[in-house]
Amino acid sequence: MLETDKLSYTYDDKIVLDAVSLSIGKGEILGILGPNGCGKTTLLKNLNRNLHPHEGCVMVDGTDIEGMSKRSIARRVAVVPQTNEIRFAFTVREIVKMGRMPFQEAFRGDSSADMEIVEKAMERTGLLPLADRFINTVSGGERQRAIIARAMAQTPEVVLMDEPTLHLDINMQFEVLDLVSSLSRENALTVVIVSHDLPMVTRYCDRVILIHDHGVFAVGNPEEVLTPENMRTVFNIDAELEYDPRTGKNTVRLFGSCRE
């Protein structure tokens, strides 16, 4: 279980997060939603100790991560960042192999067990045919799958994803989130997705947290949280949740900006 207890964070004395408490269960896909600048990415960075809370704490299975080494955290928590730009000429396989680094001692090469995990991660993400391609020669969707495969090679309990579909074509957005959903179900993997895409979060997430005015405005399943009133208050939009009979899932129908 991943938890925060009254987590607060400030930038230059400006409050960004104020006493945020949340609990994320094993195998759950949680969406964190809110307008730009509300603190979503700041919260995500606190969850893996890239930032340190000014008050409160983050816990994994009851252990405060402030007392854990970065290597110990990386063995349990993997990150898929907002951008997947890679400037060096690594192959896809080399990118995925980086996920094994938290488990390797200095000057020790890749073990057969490491390589088996890497190959399995590439197989599950459909990357084996691209394994020896340079990462800067594959498409944006393929590159994102490589970043996800790298995260899976860490064999984590939790994956934190910051706007994972931001720069992808619409078909690739579905492909990537279908993959993430399948991996979560198959491995009881906890996934936290920061996003501004209401329809996508509604479709794929078990629960949703709305961040507003520096704190948790609402939390629950999409039907409970994404009410017309809440979306009007947090996003200043006219929208409603509706059932899509073609997919058997809910979606958010957007009508436009609210007008006074």
The Cα angle at residue 139 between residues 28 and 33, in degrees rounded to 5 = 30
- Asked if pLDDT for residue 105 goes beyond 90, the answer is no
Question: Stretch 157-170: mean pLDDT, rounded?
Answer: 89
Question: Stretch 146-160: mean pLDDT, rounded?
Answer: 94
Which CATH number is 196's domain given? 3.40.50.300
Same domain, 168 and 214: yes
- Asked if pLDDT for residue 66 goes beyond 60, the answer is yes
Look at residue 60 and tell me if it is in a domain: yes
Question: Stretch 172-201: mean pLDDT, rounded?
Answer: 91
- Asked if pLDDT for residue 115 goes beyond 60, the answer is yes
Give 31-53 pLDDT, tens digit per residue: 999 998 899 999 999 999 999 99
Please give the residue range of the domain that contains residue 192: 1-76+156-227
pTM of the full structure: 0.92
Neighbours of 248 (CB within 10 A): 7
Same domain, 160 and 115: no
DSSP state of 33: E
Same domain, 161 and 141: no
Averaged pLDDT of the chain: 91
Give 17-34 pLDDT, tens digit per residue: 999 999 999 999 999 999
Same domain, 18 and 108: no
Q: How many structural domains are present in the chain?
A: 2
From residue 150, give the alpha-carbon distance in Å to each of 127, 155, 181. Answer: 11, 9, 16
- Asked if pLDDT for residue 55 goes beyond 90, the answer is yes
Residue 184: partners with Cβ closer than 8 Å, 6 or more residues away: 27, 29, 190, 191
